[in-house]
Amino acid sequence: MSRPRILIVDDEPSIRRVLAAHLRRDGYQVDDAEHGGQAIERLEAQPYHLLVTDLQMPEIGGLELLAWCRAELPEIPVIIITAFGTVHSAVEALKLGAHDYITKPFDLTELRNVIGKALAHRVRVGDKPRREPDGRFALVGRTESMQYVYDLIERVAASPSTVLIQGESGTGKELVARALHDQSPRSAKPFIQVNCGAIPANLFESELFGHERGAFTGAVSAKPGRFELADNGTLFLDEISELPKEMQVKLLRALQELSFERVGGLRTIHVDVRVVAATNVDLQAEVAAGRFREDLFYRLNVVPITIPPLRERLSDIPLLVQHFLAKYNRRLGRSVASVDPGTIEQLATWHWPGNVRELENVMERAVLLADGPTLEPRDLHGVGKAVANPEGSPEADQLDLKEYVRLHTARLERSRIQRALDREHGNVTQAARRLGISRKGLQTKMKAYGLRDPERSGEASP
Ligand SMILES: Nc1ncnc2c1ncn2[C@@H]1O[C@H](COP(=O)(O)OP(=O)(O)OP(=O)(O)O)[C@@H](O)[C@H]1O
Ligand SMILES: [Mg+2]
C-alpha cells in the first residue's frame, strides 16, 4: 500500500498543525481543511484513506460532515476529535457511524493506536464499503467476526453450493439464510423454509417431497412438497439436527441427485434448489454420537458459516441497541430518544445466553415500559445487574469489551483525571492545564467521579 493519505478538519489552526506534524512524522500524507465545506471539496477532488474531523466548526460541522461521508464515501473511516470531557458527543458520533474518536489534548500513543486501527480496518475490508446497521444484509454488527460472516455471505451467495449455518439460538441464523437468498441470483424466486423440529416424523417425507392423491389416509389431493415449491429458489432446512434418521437418507439422496418422487408417486421430479441448513447444536458431535449421518453432514457442510455468540462480540451491543430502539419506537409508537451510556454499560455485562433475540426482547420491553425520553439502567429491570465482573468470565471477548468500555463510558475519563492528578502530585490547577480544561471544570468532574480534591479538602478542614 502506498502511504495512506489523511485529511484533517478543524477550525483551529494550531490543532491542524500539531496533528499534521505528528502524522507526517509517522509517514502519512496529510492535508487539512478549516471547515466541513472545504473538507468536502478536498474529498471530492481526490481519494483519502482516513478522515479526522473536529465536531464543532462554523457552517458545516463535524456531524454533518460525518453524515455526508457515510452517504457519499462510506469506505472512508471517520475519526472524531473531541475536547476532553465531551465523551457524550463522541458517543453520538459513533452512533452515526464514526469509526472512533480521539480527545484533545492529544495523547500520542492513543492517537497512533486509533489511526493505525482505523487504517488497518480499511485494509481488511479492502475497497468494499463497510456494512452499516440496517444495511443490505439486515444484519447489525461490525465486529471483525461479523465482518467475516458478511464476507462469506457475499462470496458464496451466488453459488449453488450447500451452506450449513451453525450458531447458538438467537444468533441470527435465519437472517443469514435470508441474506444468502437475497444476495443470490435466485432472489426473485421462492425462499422456502422447513422447520425440521416442528414436523411430526410421519409427515416429513410428504412435507419435503409432496404426495400424490391417495398416497396415504388423508391425502385427498396431490400436493407438492417443499422441494418442489423451492424450485429455482432456496430451501432453508432449519434445525436440521432434528431430522429423523430415516429421513436423513432420503434427504441425502435428494441433495445428491436433485431429484425425488412424491410419496405414492412414480414420476421422478427434478428441481434446481439451493439448500441452506441451520443448526444450533454441534452437528459434528451429533455425528460422533451416531444421531446424524456422517455422509449427510459432509453433504450439507460444503460451506460452513458459524455465527459467534453475542457474548463474544459485546462491542456490537451499542449498534444493536440503537437498531432495536428505532425498531420498537416505530412498532410500539413510542418516542424514546436516546439510551443512557450506563444502560449500555449494564447490557455489556450480561452474558446473553439467548443472544441477539434475548437482547431484542429486553429492548422491546424497555422501550415499552420506559417512562422518560432516555432509557435508564432502571428500565432494564435488572438485566445484567447480577454479573459483577464480566471481564472475569473466560468466554467474554475481553478485547472487544475493553474497547467498548473505553469508547462508551466515563471510566477512561476518570482514570485520565486520576493519572493527571498523580503526575501533578495532586495539584488541581496543573492537572487541569495538562488535561486542557479549566480548573473549575476539573473540580466539577472530580466531584462527579468521587475523586478527592486535596486543594479543597485542605481549605475545608478545620
Ligand atoms: N445481527 C443481527 N442484527 C439484527 N437483528 C438480529 C441479528 N441477529 C439476530 N437478530 C434478531 O434476533 C432474532 C433471532 O434471530 P434468528 O431467528 O435469525 O436467530 P436463530 O439463530 O435462527 O435462532 P434459533 O436457533 O433460536 O432459531 C430475530 O428477531 C432477528 O431479527
Ligand atoms: Mg432460527
Interval 214-243: pLDDT, tens: 888 888 888 899 999 999 999 999 999 999
User: pLDDT value at position 297?
Assistant: 96
* Substitution candidate for ligand 1 out of 165, 280, 360 with most atoms within 8 A of CB: 360
* The pLDDT of residue 462 is above 50: no
Residue 435, strand partner residues: none
On whether the 144-306 domain is CATH 3.30.200.20, my answer is no
pLDDT digits (tens, 9 = 90+) for 370-384: 888 999 988 887 776
Mean pLDDT score across all residues of the chain: 83
Question: Residue with the nearest Cα to atom 13 of ligand 1?
Answer: 357
**Nearest ligand for residue 279 CA:** 1
pLDDT of 363 over the 90 cut: yes
Mean pLDDT of 282-291: 95
- Name the range with the highest mean pLDDT among 46-55, 160-169, 447-456: 160-169
- Topology annotation, domain 5-125: Rossmann fold (3.40.50)
pLDDT > 70: what percent of the chain?
A: 86
Pick the more confident residue, 103 or 130: 103
Report the pLDDT value the prediction gives residue 382, as an integer from 0 to 100.
75
Question: For 427-448, what is each residue's pLDDT tens digit?
Answer: 999 888 877 778 888 888 888 7
Show the DSSP H helices in 370-436 as ranges.
398-408, 411-423, 428-435
Ligand 1 centroid to Cα of residue 169, in Å, is: 8
| Cβ < 5 A residues, ion ligand 2 | 173-174
Q: What is the pLDDT of residue 434?
A: 78
Of 131-145, 152-166, 283-297, minimum mean pLDDT range: 131-145
- Give the predicted TM-score (pTM) of the model: 0.60
Please write the tens of the pLDDT for every residue from 174-204.
Answer: 999 999 999 999 999 999 999 998 888 888 9
**Pairing relationship of beta strands 268-270 and 259-261 according to DSSP bridges:** antiparallel
Task: Count Cβ neighbours within 10 Å for each residue of 322-359 and write b for 16 or more, e otherwise.
Answer: bbbbeebeeeeeeebebbebbbbbbbbbbebebbbebb
- If you search the block for the grid coordinates 464515501, which residue do you land on? 73
Percentage with pLDDT > 90 across the chain: 41
- Tell me: pLDDT of 424 over 80: yes
What is the number of helices (H) and of strands (E) in the chain? 20, 16
- The whole-number pLDDT of residue 454 equals 66
pLDDT tens column, 385-413:
644 334 433 333 333 443 444 444 455 56
**CA atoms lying within 13 Å on the CB side of residue 450:** 2
Ligand 1, atom 12, lies closest to the CA of 357
Give pLDDT, residue 194: 93
Q: What average pLDDT does the segment 328-355 reach?
A: 88
Considering every ligand atom shown, identify the ligand nearest to the alpha carbon of residue 353 and give its number: 1
Output the ligand 1 site: residues, CB below 6 A: 139-141, 167, 169-175, 280, 323, 356-357, 360
pLDDT at position 87 is 63
- Pairing relationship of beta strands 223-224 and 210-211 according to DSSP bridges: antiparallel
Which pLDDT does position 298 carry in this prediction? 94
In the prediction, which pLDDT does 84 show?
65
Rounded Cα distance between 408 and 413, Å, is: 11
pLDDT for res 234: 96
CA-based end-to-end distance of the chain: 65
Q: How far is the CA of 78 from the centre of ligand 1 (A)?
A: 29
- Give the distance (Å) from ligand 1 centre to CA of residue 171: 5
Which parts of 289-339 fold into alpha helices (H)?
A: 294-300, 317-332
Nearest partner of 253 among 239, 269, 276, 265, judged by Cα: 269
- Residue range 311-408 forms a domain whose CATH class is mainly alpha
| Domain-wise residue ranges, the chain | 5-125, 144-306, 311-408, 411-460
Q: How far is the CA of 168 from the centre of ligand 1 (A)?
A: 10
What's residue 86's pLDDT? 66
Q: Do domains 144-306 and 411-460 have the same CATH topology?
A: no
Instruction: Name which of 57-66, 283-292, 411-420, 428-437 the model is least confident about.
Output: 411-420
Which numeric CATH code is attached to 411-460?
Answer: 1.10.10.60
Q: Which ligand is nearest to the CA of 280?
A: 1
Interatomic CA distance for residues 174 and 316, integer angstroms: 19
